[in-house]
């Protein structure tokens, strides 16, 4: 549904990346019909309806670009070459950086940013395209627990301020449990469609084909404060 935060949880090899590529129109030759906001994924991609933030950026971080210039790419990508960027475009860039809390980074070169800062800039770039949905692929890979909490807060902030539809794809239970309204479990087939509170050990064991809770600790979810963590006392 538009305006909600959907978490897609699944193990490695469960089909998360394939689902993403299909949604983004990067994979063709499938059977059946896929529609994104009523149009084909290719049309949605060309219409820049989807703001995409990939797992571990593959951007060339040695480029001599400031964070502002990187975010500006998102606002400028669809603008005719004959037109210069308007004040409105610049305002979009400024607001996108502000909403992710990256406005202070504007003049820093992209290669000098930390992992967390870089992620904020990449999300700001995706927002600068003015997408209808923000797609985040494994957003917390390589980020420590404090960073994951900050990410959950950021997701909630984006939802509160922009009312944007957000899809978070991850194999990490805490990432999707934190700050998502609904969760789809994908392990070759779409297993269940639950609220974060429904991530019971039985559901997790079914998705991961393993007793995840026994290894990982139970997942405690407080959907209202959009925070979740595994209880260290449950670790084995």
Minimum distance from residue 110 beta carbon to another protein (Å): 8
Q: Which is nearer to another protein, 42 or 218 (CB)?
A: 42
Given the DSSP bridges, would you call strands 133-137 and 165-170 parallel, antiparallel or unpaired?
parallel
> 3-state secondary structure string, the chain?
CCCCEEEEECCCCCCHHHHHHHHHCCCCCCCCCCCECCECHHHHHHCCCEEEECCCCCCCCCCCCEHHHHHHHHHHCCCCCCCCCCHHHHHHHHHHHHHCCCHHHCCCEHHHCCHHHHHHHHHHHHHHCCCCEEEEECCCCCCCHHHHHHHHHHHHHHHHHHCCEEEEEECCHHHHHCCCCEEEEEECEEEEEECHHHCCHHHHHHHHCCCHHHHHCCEEEECCCCEEEECHHHCC
Minimum CB–partner distance for residue 25 and another protein (Å):
8
Closest distance of CB 70 from another protein, Å:
7
Between 46 and 188, whose beta carbon lies closer to another protein?
A: 46
Residues in contact with another protein by the rule CB under 8 A:
24, 26, 45-48, 50, 52-54, 57-60, 62-66, 69-70, 73-74, 76-79, 81, 109, 111-112, 122, 125-126, 129
The nearer residue to another protein, 106 or 213, going by C-beta atoms, is 106
By beta-carbon proximity to another protein, the closer residue of 46 and 210 is 46
What's the min distance (Å) between Cβ of 130 and another protein?
12
Q: At closest approach, how far in Å is the CB of 140 from another protein?
A: 18
Which C-beta is closer to another protein: that of 9 or that of 71?
71
Question: CB of residue 54 vs another protein: minimum separation in angstroms?
Answer: 5
The residue (of 109 and 192) whose beta carbon lies closer to another protein is 109
Sequence-separated (6 or more) residues with CB below 8 Å from residue 220: 228, 229, 230, 231
């Amino acid at each position: 549904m538009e305006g909600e935060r959907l978490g897609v949880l699944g193990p490695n090899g469960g089909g998360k990346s394939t689902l993403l590529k299909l949604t983004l129109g990067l994979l063709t030759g499938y059977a059946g019909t896929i529609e994104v906001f009523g149009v084909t994924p290719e049309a949605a991609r060309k219409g820049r309806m989807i703001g995409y933030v990939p797992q571990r950026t593959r951007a060339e971080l040695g480029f001599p670009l400031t964070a502002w210039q990187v975010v500006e790419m998102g606002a400028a990508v669809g603008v005719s070459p004959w037109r210069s960027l308007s004040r409105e475009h610049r305002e979009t860039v400024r607001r996108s950086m502000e909403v992710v809390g990256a406005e202070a980074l504007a003049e820093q070169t992209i290669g000098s940013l930390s992992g967390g800062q870089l992620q904020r800039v990449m999300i700001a770039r995706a927002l600068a395209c003015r997408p209808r949905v923000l797609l985040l692929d494994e957003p917390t890979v390589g980020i420590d627990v404090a960073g994951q909490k900050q990410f959950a807060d950021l997701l909630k902030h984006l939802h509160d301020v922009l009312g944007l539809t957000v899809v978070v794809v991850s194999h990490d239970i805490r990432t999707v449990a934190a700050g998502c309204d609904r969760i789809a479990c994908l392990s070759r087939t779409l297993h269940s469609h639950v609220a974060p509170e429904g991530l019971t050990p039985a559901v997790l064991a079914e998705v991961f084909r393993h007793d995840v809770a026994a290894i990982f600790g139970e997942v405690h979810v407080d959907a209202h404060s959009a925070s979740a963590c595994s209880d260290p006392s449950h670790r084995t």
